[in-house]
């Protein structure tokens, strides 16, 4: 029932990842649904309260969960914490903690300090989530660069889609919001994404469902590169037919 609760949370709050998980083999879903439910809860935490202290406390709750998993202690009573503790290994809990810590940026209205800060944020959130799943599925350390390259490009694609909402909530999401700045970021993300794709052979087939969530990344980044004003307009998503067709291809071939 806890796994079903995780799936229901993801279906309601992160429908794209829900579709990606349903396209994965059934055995992979018992890992992906708890991970994605955890990610959703963490991503929401900075936004559910107007008081930064309350948001900090919510994030600390998930850091405590990660610490408990790392120590091998029984999970606290929570519909996500219990299946999460069963889905991952204690040795990988630190990746969760780093992910949660990076989300503290979402609480406040400060801009990213510099390009390195932004890059680390994307890697800690998108990269850690994907790499942790891939490790659970048996990916060797030699494939980490390919996984993180794909996840970084995919994370930027998702971030660009979120720009209008972030700005509406008073955040400064982009270091350079001018069209040329958006193009430069999209180009950098697309280059890294394609580098990861080119190295997919280093990722075992059993671990590739960890990357299905990025099935839309390439067309989104290409759209932002071709017309950066689409970022501010919230118009990066492709047609529903194109989205579904692309996901079907990924699920049939196991490759992005």
Does this model's pTM top 0.85? My answer is yes
DSSP label at 228? Answer: T
What average pLDDT does the chain have?
Answer: 96
Q: Per-residue pLDDT for 49 more than 90?
A: no
| Among the listed residues 115, 182, 99, 190, the one whose alpha carbon sits nearest the alpha carbon of residue 149 | 190
pLDDT at position 75: 82
Burial class of 94 by CB neighbour count within 10 A (0 to 12, 13 to 18, 19+): middle
pLDDT at position 238: 86
Every domain of the chain and the residues it spans:
1-108, 110-256
- What's the Cα-to-Cα distance from 195 to each of 113, 187, 245, rounded to whole Å? 26, 12, 23
User: What is the average per-residue pLDDT within 211-219?
Assistant: 98
pLDDT at position 1: 61
């Amino acid at each position: 029932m806890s796994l079903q609760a995780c799936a229901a949370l993801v279906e309601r709050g992160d429908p794209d990842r829900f579709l990606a998980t349903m396209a994965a083999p059934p055995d992979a879903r018992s890992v992906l649904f708890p991970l994605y439910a955890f990610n959703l809860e963490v991503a929401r935490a900075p936004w559910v309260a107007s008081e930064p202290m309350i948001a900090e406390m919510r994030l600390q709750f998930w850091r405590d969960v990660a610490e408990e998993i790392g120590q091998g202690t029984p999970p606290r009573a929570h519909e996500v914490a219990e299946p999460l503790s069963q889905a991952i290994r204690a040795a990988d809990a630190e990746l969760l903690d780093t992910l949660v810590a990076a989300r503290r940026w979402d609480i406040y209205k400060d801009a990213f300090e510099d390009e390195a800060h932004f890059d680390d944020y994307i890697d800690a959130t998108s990269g850690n989530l994907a790499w942790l799943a891939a490790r659970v599925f048996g990916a060797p350390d030699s494939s980490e660069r390919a996984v993180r390259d794909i996840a970084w490009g995919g994370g930027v694609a998702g971030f660009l889609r979120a720009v209008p909402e972030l700005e509406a909530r008073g955040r400064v999401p982009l270091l350079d919001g001018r069209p040329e700045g958006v193009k430069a970021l999209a180009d950098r993300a697309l280059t890294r994404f394609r580098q990861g794709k080119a190295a997919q052979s280093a990722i075992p087939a059993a671990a590739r469902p960890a990357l299905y969530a990025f099935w839309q990344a390439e067309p989104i980044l290409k759209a932002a590169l071709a017309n950066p004003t689409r970022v501010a307009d919230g118009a990066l998503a492709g047609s529903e037919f194109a989205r579904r067709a692309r996901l079907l291809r990924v699920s049939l071939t196991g490759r992005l």
